[in-house]
Chains A and B, each alone.
Chain A
Amino acid sequence: MDSHAINDLKKLLGADAVLHRPEELLLYEYDGSVEVARPNCVVFPRHTKEVVGIVQIANRYQIPMIGRGAGTGLSGGALARQGGVLVVFSRMNRILEIDVENQCAVVQPGVVNADLSVAVAQTGLHFAPDPSSQKASTIGGNVSENSGGPHTLAYGVTTNHVHSLEAVLPTGELVRLGSPALDSPGYDLPGLFVGSEGTLALVTEITVKLTRLPETVKTLLAIFDTVDDATETVVDITARGITPAACEMLDGWTIRAVEAYVHAGFPVDCAAVLLLEVDGLREAAEQHAEEVADVCRLHHAREVRVARDARERDLLWKGRKNAFGAVGRLSPTYYVQDGVIPRTKLPQTLRRINEIGEKYGFEIGNIFHAGDGNLHPIILFDAREEKQFQRAVASADEIIGFCIEMGGSITGEHGVGMEKDRLMPLLFTEDDMNLMRRVRDAYNPVGLLNPGKIFPDTKGCGEIHVRPLPVAGASRA
């Protein structure tokens, strides 16, 4: 990278806000995915004006720029695939406004997801999107990826909780999209920009909706001796029109990994558990909990435990949310997939995943958002063996292929990023993608912002995407 550009950035931001030595950049060459890409330079803006300045410098020197929050993403969205300047928002981490009466807040992109909920907890409100990475991941990152989480089953994903955005376009224009009041006249630009994986703008301010905490929460742990019984239970709960606030599944293998690490109280001798939560008014939640427990028993649940208090509930959730960390202790590398299927297809899909694991000789664990059909198969492999890596990718592709066959999708919440771009043609026609590319080019005309993401390279049709060797252990899902 042009040393003049680095100097300009230092002049703009101060020397302490610019990293460019190789040893400093090492930390920023990976995120939560198995991808690796090193930026030429990392910068830490403190306010919107500095972001505009960075974009102007990037334009002057024609350097790619990539936004990044906490780097917990699982698809390489925040990696500098073609090098360039990584714009890290960790210093723009202030909650600018909390409006309790109107149930909204204005935050900078670097605010950590869980911090917002903590900040408003006393008012009886929370920020509903709860990715498992919520203790680290930023709201700006959540906006880019349209993050989900266990409770999106009832509460919706990030886009359902964003009113408006302030953003710097890759051309340097500062724009405000949407409005805090509902139904802003004109096209739903926040709806388009949320989930655009950092390819349309660098978001500098977000107005989010705050949701009232439920009066009653009931957390249930249903224990099964076969995976089929657990998946059939999910199918039945969905078909009966019971919408729990969360419906998570962990298979036996994952449970054993989690227990060794977190001691959440999951039974280590079972084939699967469902972690179910119902919430709402006391009168409704109590009945729902009973209904859910009845369906579990109908499908031969060995036992249905109800968390007695907040401590027990937190422990169960700790087990769920730290599962990926637990898996990281067992294998030098793992590869998490994010396919989605119609909920009615859960039983056969889990069986197929198992077969695929056997075929390729991999241990594949399953811990996922069963209630909305969002799978997270974890493929354990040793990245130090190139052949294993190729086989891991092949098995993952086979799983995704099956999801699509079932009428599903390649990613439910992790994003396409640089990990699944080559899979896009499985879901979208060239015409579909060309229109999306045209939308991207409308706001990102030179392609300087987050290049090489989402859409497969049109030049090498059918070309096999060569990846760098993955690094050990992604952290969260």
Chain B
Amino acid sequence: MNTASATVPSRLADIVGPSNVVADPAQLAAFAIDDKKPSVSVSPQLIAEIVEIVKFARKEKLAIIATGARTKLGIGLPPRQYDIALNMTRLDRLVSYDPGDLTLSAEAGIPLHKLSAILGEHHQFLPLAAPYFDRTTIGGTIASGVDGPLRQLYGTARDYLLGMEFVTGEGVVAKSGGRVVKNVTGYDIHKVMIGALGTLGVITRINFKTFPRLLSSRAFVSTFQTLERACGMRNRVSQSHLAPVTMEIFSPGVANLFSTETASRIAPNSIPENILGGSRWIFTSGFAGNPNALARYENDLRKMAEECGAVDAAVLEGPQLASAFALKREFIPLALSFSSAATILKISVLPRQIAEALTAATREAESRHLPWVVMARGVGMIYFAILAGESSEATKQQVVQASDNILLACAALGGNATIPWCPTAWKNTLRVWGPPRADFAQMLKLKKAFDPDAILSPGRFVGGI
């Protein structure tokens, strides 16, 4: 922070009132990102206040990072500069909700679970089954770009986001899209804000399409001796007319992750031993519908599993299903809390390349005796967690080599790989955002249009944007 630093809290207090400004270093520890603490945190309640804060920061050359429930701030590179934590949790109003039209507009700081509860009263939901579900805000969920198990059927936020309002790096309130379910008026700017880690603007309001609650649902689970067979099952289902709600493959050893104390809090109802235990790969797929459709799914999936060489199969429903779903949704937090130096690679490949990508990844980890666990979504998103137990230099070297090689292998397959989660101390060595990207120059142009002085979340994004 520059020389004006001493007066910053009082200047911010002029905008939002002294009770909404925190300058006490002990309290600011809660806003640290990669061990970097801000000099001040400020909690606006109005968009007009955010405008003033951003304009002030720009004038004083201070860096702002918007925060919500602060569950996913570890994603990306350490901030280059971090002066003001813009705590968005007081911006938590439901602006409008038209259940008859299945659309809503909410402020960014509203917790996802709170929004879900409101929708639930109208038998509707948002398919954003994001990790840290019980705490995360919708703004944080969108800005961090995390996905969830429901993307198999519903896609990601980009598929049901209708519009957005945000404050640019110049302190200008702007919006794109609208509130109706179909709209091509103006550029779809809201799409580039998804997963941008707040580097383009401070998201203030988000408009969504909502969905009717699913009829009763169940999950089919089967186990396989090999990864190839589990992937074979995935392929078999994709070629059929079945349209499952979720579809994942888990590696052997996921039971360890799912049987910790944290896991039992998230998922109080245990999953059958024959499914979770042992050394087998697990295929799981949720489905929903009327009783006839449920019977059809169950019947077809059992048959397919048999054809694909499944060892075991089961159907989960009721509380067990809820627990299994929560475990899937919370895979990332569970992996991060499992070991102190957990490093999670996010890999995307074409669906038919899952086996190949995973074979390469597991080989790299195994040959270095690094413990690992995997969740692969049927659409081709793989979360490969290296569960390093300690952050020693030797371990770091092993993880760096393994992940470098995995990144290369994925690039060779034409896929993408990044390392969104890893120990802070390793971030300068690991290729957090993967190999350099050919479209990086085009991203820089966008950043300059939104935030010419680079005061928003500087340094955290791809290529150090």
Chain A residue nearest to B351 (CB atoms) is A102
Q: Contact check: which of B101, B295, B415, B446 meets A343 at CB < 8 Å?
A: B101
Contacts of B98 in A (CB 8 A): 342, 344
Question: What residues of A have a CB within 8 angstroms of the CB of B379 in the complex?
Answer: 182
A145 touches B438 (CB 8 A): no
B350 at the interface (CB under 8 A from A): yes
**CB-nearest residue of chain B to A280:** B243
- Is A22 in the interface zone, CB < 8 Å from B? no
| Across-interface contacts of B212 in A (CB, < 8 A) | 240-243
Cα of A287 to Cα of B215 in the assembled complex, Å: 13
Report if A192-B433 is in contact (Cβ < 8 Å); known contacts: A182-B348, A283-B296, A443-B445: no
A408: CB under 8 A from chain B?
Answer: yes
- Report which of B172, B191, B380, B418 forms a contact with A185, defined as CB distance below 8 A: B418
Q: Does B286 count as interface, using CB distance less than 8 angstroms? A: no
Chosen A-B contacts, 22 in total, with CB atoms closer than 8 Å, are A102-B352, A145-B184, A175-B441, A179-B415, A181-B349, A181-B380, A181-B414, A181-B416, A182-B348, A186-B461, A192-B187, A235-B100, A239-B99, A241-B124, A281-B289, A283-B289, A283-B293, A283-B295, A284-B289, A369-B182, A373-B182, A409-B180
Q: A274: CB under 8 A from chain B?
A: no
Instruction: State in angstroms the CA–CA spacing of A184 and B381 once bound together.
Output: 11
Known: A409-B180, A411-B185. 18 other contacts (CB 8 A): A103-B238, A173-B441, A180-B414, A181-B349, A185-B434, A186-B443, A187-B196, A191-B194, A281-B242, A287-B290, A340-B182, A372-B181, A409-B178, A409-B185, A412-B184, A427-B186, A436-B176, A439-B449
Which A residues are in CB contact (< 8 Å) with B155? 156, 160
Asked whether A160 lies within 8 Å of B178 as measured between CB atoms, the reply is no
Q: Closest residue to A188 on the B side, CB-wise?
A: B191
Q: Would B179 and A192 count as touching, CB distance under 8 A?
A: no
A431 and B183 in contact (CB under 8 A), knowing A104-B350, A442-B449?
no
**B292 at the A/B interface (Cβ < 8 Å)?**
yes
The size of the chain B interface, using a CB distance under 8 A, is 82
Which residues of the other chain, B, contact A187 by a CB distance below 8 angstroms? 192, 196, 200, 443, 446, 462
Q: Is A72 an interface residue (CB 8 A)?
A: no
- State which of A8-16, A413-421, A459-467 sits at the interface with chain B: A413-421
**A134 located at the interface, meaning its Cβ lies under 8 Å from any Cβ of chain B in the complex:** no
By the criterion of a CB under 8 Å from any partner CB, how many residues of chain A are at the interface? 87
A341 at the interface (CB under 8 A from B): yes
What 1/0 mask marks residues of chain A from 309 to 336 whose CB sits below 8 Å from any chain B CB?
A: 0000000000000000000000000000
Whether the pair A156, B188 counts as a contact (CB closer than 8 A) is: no
Is A121's beta carbon under 8 Å from chain B? no
CA distance A145 to B184 in the complex (A): 8
Which residues of chain B (411-465) have a CB below 8 Å from chain A?
414-416, 418, 433-434, 437-443, 445-446, 448-450, 461-463
Q: Which chain B residue has the least Cβ–Cβ distance from A342? A: B101
How would residues 127 to 147 of chain B score, 1 for a CB under 8 Å from any chain A CB and 0 otherwise? 000000000000000000101
Interface residues of A (CB under 8 A from B): 99, 101-104, 145-146, 148, 152, 156-157, 159-160, 173, 175-189, 191-192, 194-196, 212, 214-215, 235, 238-243, 280-284, 287, 340-344, 369, 372-374, 407-416, 420, 424, 427-429, 431-436, 438-443, 454
Complex contact B414–A179 (CB within 8 A): yes
Q: Is B159 positioned at the interface, with any CB of A under 8 Å from its CB?
A: yes
Contact B180 A186 (CB under 8 A): no
Instruction: Indicate which residue in B181, B235, B352, B442 contacts A189 across the interface (CB closer than 8 Å).
Output: B442
Contact B437 A159 (CB under 8 A): no
Q: Which residues of A contact B158 (CB under 8 A)?
A: 159, 188, 191
Closest chain B CB from A378 CB (angstroms): 18
